[in-house]
Amino acid sequence: MRTLAIECASEACSVALFEGAEMLAHDHRVLGRGHAERLVPMIEALPEKGKADRILVSRGPGSFTGVRIGIATARALGIAWDAEVLGYPTLALVSAVVRASHPGEPVSVAMRGGHGEIFVQDFDASGIPEGDVQSLIPERAAEAAQHALLAGTMAEELQQARSHGTALPMHPDARHVLDLPPGLLTSDVSPIYGRAPDAKLPAA
C-alpha cells in the first residue's frame, strides 16, 4: 500500500510518500505563506506524482488557511485516485517527531495560535494525548504544559515563560506520520480549530 502524507497546518509545508513502512520521498519547506501555490507542485514532484492508495492529512489546529488547503487537496486527490483519506491532529505529529529523538519521554507541544495565543497539549511517552488541545495566552499556556520537555514552534517562548524545562523548536513534518499512534487516525477530516470562532451570531 502506498501512503501520501500531507502537512501544511503551520508555517511549514511537507509531504511524504511511503511504500508500506518505507519512505520513498519527502519534501519539507518552511514557507510562512504560499501553501496554496506550493503544495500541489510538491506532491507532483514525488514519484508517480504522489499517487497513493491512502492519504493522511493534518486537521490542525494551526494556520486556518493552511489546514483548509491541506484538507481540500487531500479530499480532491482522494476522489481522483479513489484513495482512502484519513485525518490526524497536528500537535500529535509534533509529538511523533519528538519520539524519534527522545524515545520514552512525555512531551508538551506548543504551537503558534491566533491572537497571540499558544496551542498547547500534553502527550504521554507513547504519543497519546493526555487532554484536549487548548488555545491560551502564554502565561496560561505555561501553567497548562505539564512536562519538562517542550516541543513545537512556540516551545522556546513557553520555556522562557515558565523558566524551566527543555525546549525543542520544530515544525510538524510529514515524514513522521507513520509514527503516529494508529488510534489517532480518523475518517473525520474536518478541521480542528482549537479555539472558539471570533465572530458571534447576533442575538435573536
pLDDT along the chain (204 residues), means of 10: 96 96 97 83 98 98 93 98 98 96 96 94 98 95 96 96 92 97 97 64 50
What confidence score (pLDDT) does residue 195 get? Answer: 60
What confidence score (pLDDT) does residue 164 get? Answer: 87
Kindly state the cell numbers that stand for 125: 511517552
What confidence score (pLDDT) does residue 193 get? Answer: 86
Q: Spell out where the chain has E strands.
A: 2-7, 12-19, 22-30, 54-58, 84-88, 107-112, 118-123, 134-136, 149-152, 166-169
d(CA 78, CA 25): 19
For residue 92, the surrounding DSSP H or E stretch is helix 90-101
Grid coordinates 508500506 are at which residue? 20
What confidence score (pLDDT) does residue 2 get? Answer: 98
d(CA 15, CA 53): 15
Kindly state the cell numbers that stand for 169: 523548536
Grid coordinates 451570531 are at which residue? 201
Residues forming a β-bridge with 120: 110, 134
pTM of the model: 0.92
d(CA 10, CA 13): 7
What confidence score (pLDDT) does residue 32 get? Answer: 72
Angle between helices 35-44 and 64-81 in degrees, nearest 10: 30
Nearest by Cα to 18 from 3, 37, 36: 3
Domains of the chain by range and CATH? 2-89+173-184 (3.30.420.40), 91-169 (3.30.420.40)
What confidence score (pLDDT) does residue 199 get? Answer: 39
Please name the amino acid found at residue 121.
Q
What confidence score (pLDDT) does residue 163 get? Answer: 86
d(CA 114, CA 184): 24
Output phi, psi for 27, to 5 deg: -145, 130
What confidence score (pLDDT) does residue 196 get? Answer: 53
What is the number of other CB atoms lying within 10 angstroms of the CB of residue 114? 15
What confidence score (pLDDT) does residue 130 get? Answer: 98
d(CA 100, CA 69): 27
